């Protein structure tokens, strides 16, 4: 019998304390002289008997219970047990199996399953087996079990997914599993096709000391390997005609075999609408443009697919090569909706709107649809149609201001471009991000320039990089002084430090004040190259425009909230609906997506959806007739289709840190911790100790009652 | 620097005590038999300033004592009688049994000796005849009362040691026959006897007309029982040992002592004796002053 923590046995000495106290008290010769014991004799107290042990059984129970508990803490175990006598020493095996989509190339996956099963078959009864499945991320499918049959069953039940290979997370997970292991031999068996793209050297990645990495490379039959790259969409608008979309697809041939006359199909909502053929030279690419199509419905499911027939499920049948997943590219097409902009200007001053109108008329993302309106005609209907309102140097009365406040707080955007005619009612002065002051004349001396731009803001963010637009060349000969409100954000200042562009969030909308005009009367900004993108950025930001991505990749996270806003037709409808969403995955599984509760006063939290499958995800609001909801197209990572292999020993050298090879006979005997853990005598001792204490309590109560 | 005195027992006459109680008198509450003028009431009429009564003139009376004012009113001769003041026998009965030797800072015997010496000195100063009797189970020393015996009393006190076990009843009964004249009897003891035994012993002395004062001297340990460690307690007189866990017994012990003191107080009051418990942890002058002033005040009431 040995003890893992023998120092606890010192506590056994405490058992003798009560007995020693009893003995020392009894034997003590110290005598106190007292004048008379006359009174003490009258007290009916058997002081002598108190020091006499009367209930030997109770004492024995207490001492035995304490001894057992102390023994439990000392962690006893038997050396040389059956566990320690396993031939060769017990192993903790972590089988790390690559399930990225490249493993679906030919019969690679079947070979990988066989290799993993063989590795497990070599395990003895004393060995422990864990199974880690990995692609982008890694998950423990089975944790430290001696049952090889379970491990084999898990391997057989697994299948390649749409993820791409990343060795780092998988090896880290395997290392953490082995770090917890107490067995003498630790081994990681990595079964993969060892794509070079899956390995990023990581100095921090090391397996625990004594652990070995065994690589099992598997390869499928070689052959042609084509892949579709992301498509290019071209929107064609003709006056009086609905918008048409042209799709250009590129095919990549990653093999040394040329591909000739490979059919390539364009599918819309599951129907093949066009078929072309493409020939691709070895290790090169080719592009094909389909005839433009008219798209009328939002969230149209579109796919470009290599091969003449649509494959069933995920099988490569009908596919042009052995790796089917990269032979299809999904995307979503939605007819572009213009952003309605109302420019309010004084009647008869067409030149004041010239540059602004021309700037808004250019561009696709988004397309602005500007209409001119006089200040007198500002009415509810006008405001209801607009998502952005530009007050281009016009006086605003109190009634019109009230309507504008309602418009902005309902979700609209408002831009005030100030000139000599701009007036805002003083009664609503505090609503604006800045109070309007008198004009500042800079016609004499040096003209004012813009400086101090907030490049972190969405409006100026595209101009952040060098040579991405120079605002300092614009000269401002006059501008209106602005007194920015405390809660307003000054996005740009003149070189004098006075605010040039101020923003404030009002309700669900935004309002900005530009201190000068958008024509040439007070500045020459409209003549500068930055004017067009500046106006577009103002329009995008104030109108709340968000672009919905036509496709995403597996492993990426879809911001459902932003996607819903991007899909919203009007500003008023851009507020995201609260509550749960139902997500229909490409495999047909339906699940709920619930937003976390928002804190009082805080904006509603964003909903996020991780894309784990290849295909189309459909997200709808639960319990609300919200139309088609949103659709996200999810595609496999194209880098995974590159089957170039790396030398597995490179990986071994990297994670083994110079090769602490596996333990040999020196560690054949289990360490004490492992033996103790396997035997767990302490648990029985503790249990027995507690039982004795319970028995002692019962006995003591009975004796106490009897004594009364 | 110690000052040596020609009288060994003089060290018990504590100047601090006397300074505190010097202006008080230990006056007998009852009449006492005396031969010379003193501070105590005599059973006889005498020449004091306290008028007692008138009586008819008889031949042989000193004509200086005729009350001429009464004669002028009544045309009869009346003699004015006055109370007589007398001195008294002042005897101290000191318990010198072994238990009186107990005490941590000061033993009960030393405390009692100081008390006896101070009282004796006071009595001698007021022209009383002073005597001393030490006793344990029997009478140890006997100094008969005399106006000249102060030195002898102090000598005897100095020699007294707590050497033998004591008993209260037998020596008291023996002494009762000894007190032929009425006087003041001060008993100083730790009273380790049953109240019946104590008052059976003191009763005969009191019944002979003596003014009995019982001082019950106890050490604070005997009152509070402030022991902590479980120990064997040995009776200082019998030598018996008893294992004691003080924490378990202290409360009961204190109750018994309190009941004992209460019984002694009650019984003393019933037999018209004065009783006072003295705790040796308290300064003697403080305790004695309290006792004498109380006694003086009560004697006026009576």
Q: Are residues A404 and A361 in the same domain?
A: yes
| Angstrom distances, CA of residue A679 to CA of A83, A93, A130, A178, A684 | 9, 21, 22, 21, 10
**Is position A117 within any domain?**
yes
Lowest mean pLDDT among A149-163, A299-313, A469-483: A299-313
Whether B234 and A31 lie within 8 Å, measured CB to CB: yes
pLDDT of residue A573: 42
Query: Distance between CA A434 and CA A486 in Å, rounded?
Result: 9
Q: How confident is the model over A325-371, as pLDDT tens digits?
A: 888 999 998 888 888 899 988 877 778 888 998 999 888 777 888 88
pLDDT of residue A81: 46
Q: Are residues A530 and A559 in the same domain?
A: no
B230 has pLDDT over 70: yes
The ranges assigned to domains in chain B are 8-32+88-301, 40-86
Lowest mean pLDDT among A50-64, A474-488, A562-576, B131-145: A562-576
Quickly list H helices, chain B.
Answer: 15-21, 68-74, 108-125, 150-159, 169-176, 195-207, 220-224, 246-270, 284-301
Shortest alpha-carbon distance between residue A4 and chain B (Å): 41
What is chain A's mean pLDDT, rounded?
82
Of the spans A109-113, A241-245, A316-320, which averages the highest pLDDT?
A109-113
**Is position A677 within any domain?**
no
Query: Distance between CA B180 and CA B165 in Å, rounded?
Result: 28
Quickly list H helices, A96-225.
Answer: 108-121, 148-157, 167-179
Q: What is residue A27's three-state secondary structure?
A: helix
Band of the pLDDT at A518, cuts 50, 70, 90?
Answer: very high
Contact yes or no for B178/B152 (Cβ under 8 A): no
DSSP state, A101?
Answer: G
Q: What angle do CA A158, A647, A129 make, to 5 degrees?
A: 35
Contact yes or no for B191/B163 (Cβ under 8 A): no
Q: Which residues does residue A340 pair with via DSSP β-bridges, in sequence order?
A: A369
Whether B232 and A36 lie within 8 Å, measured CB to CB: no
Sheet containing A590-593, strands listed edge to edge, beginning at the edge strand earlier in sequence:
A552-553, A630-635, A615-621, A581-584, A590-593
Lowest mean pLDDT among A272-276, A304-308, A428-432: A304-308
Contact yes or no for B37/B86 (Cβ under 8 A): yes
Residues 240-279 of B with CB under 8 A from A: 240-245, 248-249, 252-253, 256-257, 260
**Partners of residue B235 in chain A, C-beta under 8 Å:** 34-37
CATH, residue A322: 2.60.40.10
Mean of pLDDT values over A80-104? 73
Shortest alpha-carbon distance between residue A21 and chain B (Å): 11
| Best mutation target, B243, B246, B255, to test chain A (most A CBs within 10 A) | B243
| Angstrom distances, CA of residue A474 to CA of A360, A458, A526, A573, A680 | 20, 20, 8, 37, 81
The number of folded domains in chain A is 5
B8-32+88-301: CATH topology is: Rossmann fold (3.40.50)
Of the spans A180-184, A495-499, A629-633, which averages the highest pLDDT?
A495-499
Whether A48 and B256 lie within 8 Å, measured CB to CB: no
Q: Are residues A215 and A254 in the same domain?
A: no
Are β-strands A557-559 and A608-610 bridged in parallel, bridged antiparallel, or unpaired? antiparallel
Q: Are residues A434 and A361 in the same domain?
A: yes
A503, A486, A499: which is closest to A451 by C-alpha?
Answer: A499
**Partners of residue B102 in chain A, C-beta under 8 Å:** 33-35
Mean of pLDDT values over B215-225? 90
Shortest alpha-carbon distance between residue A678 and chain B (Å): 50
Q: Are residues A349 and A478 in the same domain?
A: yes
Q: How confident is the model over B238-255, as pLDDT tens digits?
A: 888 888 888 778 888 999
Nearest neighbour of B190 by CB, restricted to A35, A41, A43:
A35
pLDDT of residue A578: 58
Contact yes or no for A342/A382 (Cβ under 8 A): yes
pLDDT of residue A338: 84
Contact yes or no for A450/A442 (Cβ under 8 A): no
Q: How confident is the model over A697-707, as pLDDT tens digits?
A: 898 888 877 76
Sheet containing A259-268, strands listed edge to edge, beginning at the edge strand earlier in sequence:
A271-280, A259-268, A300-306, A328-333
| Best mutation target, B223, B244, B246, to test chain A (most A CBs within 10 A) | B244
Q: Are residues A441 and A462 in the same domain?
A: yes
Q: Which residue among A314, A334, A354 closes a domain?
A: A334
pLDDT of residue B3: 43
**Partners of residue B222 in chain A, C-beta under 8 Å:** 34-35
Q: Are residues A485 and A358 in the same domain?
A: yes
Shortest alpha-carbon distance between residue B134 and chain A (Å): 18
Nearest neighbour of A35 by CB, restricted to B192, B229, B248:
B192
Contact yes or no for B279/B218 (Cβ under 8 A): yes
Whether A40 and B253 lie within 8 Å, measured CB to CB: yes
Q: Are residues A174 and A274 in the same domain?
A: no
Shortest alpha-carbon distance between residue B35 and chain A (Å): 42
Whether B245 and A47 lie within 8 Å, measured CB to CB: yes
Of the spans A669-673, B27-31, B198-202, which averages the highest pLDDT?
B198-202
Structural domain span for residue A33? 2-81+682-707
A265, A188, A322: which is closest to A655 by C-alpha?
Answer: A188
CATH, residue A508: 3.40.50.880
pLDDT of residue B8: 62
Residue A622 φ then ψ, to 5°: -70, 135
Q: What is residue A634's three-state secondary structure?
A: strand
Query: Distance between CA B113 and CA B10 in Å, rounded?
Result: 10
Q: Are residues A514 and A663 in the same domain?
A: no
B56 has pLDDT over 60: yes
Q: How confident is the model over A528-540, as pLDDT tens digits?
A: 999 999 999 999 9
User: Between A531-543 and A350-361, two packed helices, what is the crossing angle to 10 degrees?
Assistant: 80
**Given CB atoms, is B238 within the 8 Å cutoff of chain A?**
yes
Between residues A476 and A465, the one the model is more confident about: A476
Whether A42 and B232 lie within 8 Å, measured CB to CB: no
Mean of pLDDT values over A214-235? 85
Whether A35 and B227 lie within 8 Å, measured CB to CB: no
A67 has pLDDT over 70: yes
pLDDT of residue A569: 41
**Is position A86 within any domain?**
no
Query: Distance between CA A356 and CA A349 in Å, rounded?
Result: 13
Contact yes or no for A36/B192 (Cβ under 8 A): yes
Q: CB pairs below 8 Å between A and B: how many? A: 82
**Partners of residue A39 in chain B, C-beta under 8 Å:** 253, 256-257, 260
**Partners of residue A29 in chain B, C-beta under 8 Å:** 232
Residues of chain A that touch chain B, judged by Cβ-Cβ distance less than 8 Å: 25, 28-43, 45, 47-48, 50-51
Whether B99 and A48 lie within 8 Å, measured CB to CB: no
**Given CB atoms, is B102 within the 8 Å cutoff of chain A?**
yes
A418 has pLDDT over 90: yes
| HSE (side-chain half, CA atoms, 13 Å) at B271 | 27
A604 has pLDDT over 80: no
Between residues A397 and A310, the one the model is more confident about: A397
**Partners of residue B244 in chain A, C-beta under 8 Å:** 32, 40, 47
**Is position A62 within any domain?**
yes
Q: How confident is the model over A73-91, as pLDDT tens digits?
A: 888 887 754 444 445 577 8
B94 has pLDDT over 90: yes
| Best mutation target, A27, A28, A35, to test chain B (most B CBs within 10 A) | A35
Mean of pLDDT values over A229-239? 85
Q: Are residues A529 and A582 in the same domain?
A: no
Q: Which residues does residue A186 pair with via DSSP β-bridges, in sequence order?
A: A92, A211
The residue of chain A nearest to residue B98, with distances taken between CA atoms, is: A35
Q: Residues B241-265, buried b or exposed e (16+ Cβ, 10 A)? A: bbbbbbeebbebbeebbeebbeebb
Contact yes or no for A490/A502 (Cβ under 8 A): yes
Q: Are residues A288 and A406 in the same domain?
A: no
Whether A47 and B248 lie within 8 Å, measured CB to CB: yes
Q: Are residues A215 and A358 in the same domain?
A: no
A458, A407, A381, A498: which is closest to A391 by C-alpha?
Answer: A407
DSSP state, A491?
Answer: E
Band of the pLDDT at B226, cuts 50, 70, 90?
Answer: confident
> Quick count: other Cβ atoms within 10 Å of Cβ B3?
6
Q: What angle do CA A179, A185, A186 make, to 5 degrees?
A: 45
Shortest alpha-carbon distance between residue B300 and chain A (Å): 38
Q: How confident is the model over A328-341, as pLDDT tens digits?
A: 999 998 888 888 89
């Amino acid at each position: 019998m040995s003890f893992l923590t023998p120092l606890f046995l010192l506590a056994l000495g405490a058992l003798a304390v009560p007995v020693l106290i009893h003995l020392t008290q009894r034997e003590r010769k110290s005598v106190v002289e007292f004048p008379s014991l006359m009174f003490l004799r009258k007290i009916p107290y058997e002081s002598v008997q108190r020091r006499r042990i009367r209930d030997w059984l109770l004492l024995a129970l207490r001492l035995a219970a304490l001894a057992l508990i102390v023994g439990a803490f000392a962690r006893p175990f038997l050396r040389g047990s059956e566990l320690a006598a396993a031939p060769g020493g017990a192993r903790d095996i972590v089988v790390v199996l690559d399930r990225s989509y490249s493993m679906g190339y030919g019969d690679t996956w079947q070979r990988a399953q066989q290799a993993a099963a063989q590795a497990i078959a070599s395990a003895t009864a004393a060995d422990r087996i864990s199974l880690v499945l990995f692609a982008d991320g890694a998950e423990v499918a089975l944790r430290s079990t001696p049952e090889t049959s379970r491990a084999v069953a898990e391997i057989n039940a697994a299948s390649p997914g749409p993820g791409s290979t990343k060795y780092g997370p998988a090896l880290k997970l395997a290392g953490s599993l082995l770090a917890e292991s107490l067995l003498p031999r630790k081994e990681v068996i990595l079964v993969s096709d060892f794509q070079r793209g899956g390995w990023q050297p990581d100095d921090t990645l090391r397996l625990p000391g004594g652990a070995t990495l065994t690589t099992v490379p598997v390869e499928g039959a070689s052959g042609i390997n084509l892949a579709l790259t992301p498509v290019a969409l071209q929107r064609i608008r003709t006056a009086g005609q609905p918008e048409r979309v042209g799709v250009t697809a590129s095919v990549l041939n990653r093999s040394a075999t040329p591909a000739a006359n490979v059919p390539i199909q364009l599918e819309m909502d599951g129907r093949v609408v066009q078929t072309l053929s493409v020939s691709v030279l070895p290790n090169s690419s080719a592009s094909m443009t389909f005839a433009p199509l008219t798209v009328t419905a939002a969230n149209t499911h579109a796919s470009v697919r290599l091969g003449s027939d649509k494959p069933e499920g995920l099988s490569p049948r009908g596919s042009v090569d052995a790796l089917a997943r990269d032979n299809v590219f999904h995307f979503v097409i939605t007819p572009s909706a213009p952003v309605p902009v109302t420019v309010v200007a004084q009647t008869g001053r067409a030149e004041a709107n010239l540059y602004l109108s021309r700037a808004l008329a250019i561009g696709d993302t988004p397309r602005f649809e500007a209409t001119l309106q006089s200040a007198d005609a500002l009415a509810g209907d006008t405001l209801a149609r607009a998502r952005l309102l530009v007050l281009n140097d016009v006086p605003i009365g109190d009634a019109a201001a009230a309507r504008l406040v309602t418009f902005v707080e309902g979700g609209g955007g408002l831009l005030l471009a100030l000139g000599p005619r701009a007036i805002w009612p003083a009664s609503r002065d505090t609503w604006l991000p800045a109070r309007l002051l008198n004009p500042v004349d800079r016609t004499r001396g040096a003209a004012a320039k813009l400086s101090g731009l907030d490049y972190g803001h969405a409006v100026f963010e595209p101009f952040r990089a060098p040579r991405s637009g120079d605002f300092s060349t614009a000269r401002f000969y006059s501008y209106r002084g602005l007194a920015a409100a405390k809660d307003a954000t000054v996005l740009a200042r003149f070189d004098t430090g006075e605010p040039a562009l101020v923003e404030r969030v009002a309700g669900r909308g935004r309002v900005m004040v530009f201190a000068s005009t958008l024509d040439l009367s007070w500045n020459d900004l409209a003549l500068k190259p930055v004017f067009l993108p500046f106006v577009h950025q103002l329009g995008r930001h104030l109108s709340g425009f968000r672009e919905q991505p036509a496709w995403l990749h597996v492993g990426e996270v879809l911001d459902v909230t932003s996607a819903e806003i991007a899909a919203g037709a009007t500003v008023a409808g851009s507020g995201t609906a609260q509550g749960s969403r139902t997500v229909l995955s490409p495999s047909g599984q339906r699940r709920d997506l619930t937003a976390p509760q928002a804190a009082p006063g805080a904006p509603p939290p964003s909903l996020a959806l991780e894309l784990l499958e290849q295909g189309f995800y459909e997200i709808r609001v639960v319990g609300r007739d919200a139309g088609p909801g949103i659709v996200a197209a999810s595609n496999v990572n194209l880098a995974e289709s590159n089957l170039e292999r790396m030398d597995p020993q490179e990986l071994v050298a990297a994670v083994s840190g110079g090769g602490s090879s596996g333990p040999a006979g020196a560690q054949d005997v289990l360490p004490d911790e492992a033996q103790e853990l396997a035997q767990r005598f302490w648990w029985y001792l503790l249990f027995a100790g507690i039982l004795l204490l319970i028995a002692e309590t019962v006995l003591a109560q009975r004796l106490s009652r009897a004594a009364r | 620097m110690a000052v040596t005195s020609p009288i060994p027992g003089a060290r018990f006459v504590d100047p601090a005590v006397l300074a505190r109680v010097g202006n008080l008198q230990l006056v007998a509450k009852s009449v006492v038999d005396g031969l010379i003028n003193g501070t105590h009431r005599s059973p006889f009429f005498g020449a004091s300033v306290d008028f007692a009564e008138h009586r008819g003139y008889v031949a042989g009376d000193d004509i200086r004592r005729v009350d001429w004012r009464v004669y002028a009113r009544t045309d009869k001769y009346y003699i004015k009688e006055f109370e007589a003041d007398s001195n008294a026998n002042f005897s101290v009965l000191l318990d010198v049994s072994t238990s009186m030797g107990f005490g941590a800072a000061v033993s009960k015997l030393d405390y009692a000796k100081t008390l006896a010496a101070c009282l004796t000195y006071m009595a001698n100063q007021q022209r009383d005849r002073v005597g001393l009797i030490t006793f344990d189970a029997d009478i140890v020393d006997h100094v008969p009362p005399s106006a000249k015996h102060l030195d002898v009393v102090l000598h005897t006190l100095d020699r007294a040691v707590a050497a033998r076990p004591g008993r209260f009843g037998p020596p008291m009964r023996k002494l009762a026959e000894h007190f032929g004249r009425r006087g003041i009897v001060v008993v100083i003891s730790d009273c380790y006897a049953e109240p019946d035994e104590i008052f059976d012993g003191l009763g005969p002395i009191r019944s002979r007309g003596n003014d009995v004062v019982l001082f019950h001297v106890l050490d604070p340990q005997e009152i509070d029982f402030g022991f902590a460690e479980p120990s064997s307690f040995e009776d200082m007189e019998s030598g018996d040992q008893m294992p004691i866990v003080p924490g378990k017994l202290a409360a009961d012990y204190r109750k018994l002592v309190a009941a004992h003191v209460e019984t002694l107080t009650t019984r003393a009051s019933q037999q018209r004796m004065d009783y006072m418990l003295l705790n040796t942890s308290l300064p003697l002058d403080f305790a004695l002053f309290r006792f004498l002033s109380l006694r003086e005040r009560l004697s006026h009431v009576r």
